[in-house]
Amino acid sequence: MQKIEHIGIAVKDLSASIPLFEKLLNTACYKTEIVESEKVKTAFFESGESKVELLESMNDDGVIARYIEKKGEGMHHIAFAVENIEAEMQRLSGEGFQLLNTTPKIGADNKLVCFLHPKNTNGVLIELCQEIEN
Ligand code: ZN
């Protein structure tokens, strides 16, 4: 894995959280994007080499809505940049980690993504992401 690409934070209301994180990080949100497949609205901030991704659910029974209902707002996942997502998925699956998707999915911010089940990672949801070459 190359580096922590971003940290994902589950929020109830992007319109309140975007200005909050702009103040906190002292930088403007550089992108908002809807990920249809996950039914989430996302907002991205840069902090040095890494990013912060805010996630708001688009419906009441989406993954982010259910997460907030159970655990409240807060840290949702850590995303690591990888060079070759398929090779990394194969390696991790061989090591006994459970992949939540068996083929890479199109995620936010022009990435191929795969999530690992938190039950094998000390309760932390891990995302692998590979930049899509244009
Ligand atoms: Zn993410």
Mapped to the 3 state alphabet, what secondary structure does the chain carry? CCEEEEEEEECCCHHHHHHHHHHHHCCCCCEEEEEHHHCEEEEEEEECCEEEEEEEECCCCCHHHHHHHHHCCEEEEEEEECCCHHHHHHHHHHCCCCECCCCCEECCCCEEEEEECHHHCCCCCEEEEEECCC
**CA 28 / ligand 1 centre spacing (Å):** 18
Sequence-ordered list of residues with C-beta below 8 angstroms from that of 72, at least 6 positions apart, any chain: none
**CA 82 / ligand 1 centre spacing (Å):** 13
**CA 49 / ligand 1 centre spacing (Å):** 15
User: Per-residue confidence of the chain (134 residues) as pLDDT tens digits?
Assistant: 899 999 999 999 999 999 999 999 999 999 999 988 889 999 999 999 999 999 999 998 898 999 999 999 999 999 999 999 999 999 999 999 999 999 999 988 889 999 999 999 999 999 999 999 87
**CA 113 / ligand 1 centre spacing (Å):** 8
Residues with CB under 5 A from ligand 1 (ion): 8, 53, 79, 127
**CA 76 / ligand 1 centre spacing (Å):** 9
**pLDDT score recorded for residue 109:** 87
**pLDDT score recorded for residue 134:** 73
Q: Which two tokens stand for residue 35?
A: 């990920």
Cα separation, 105 vs 97, whole angstroms: 18
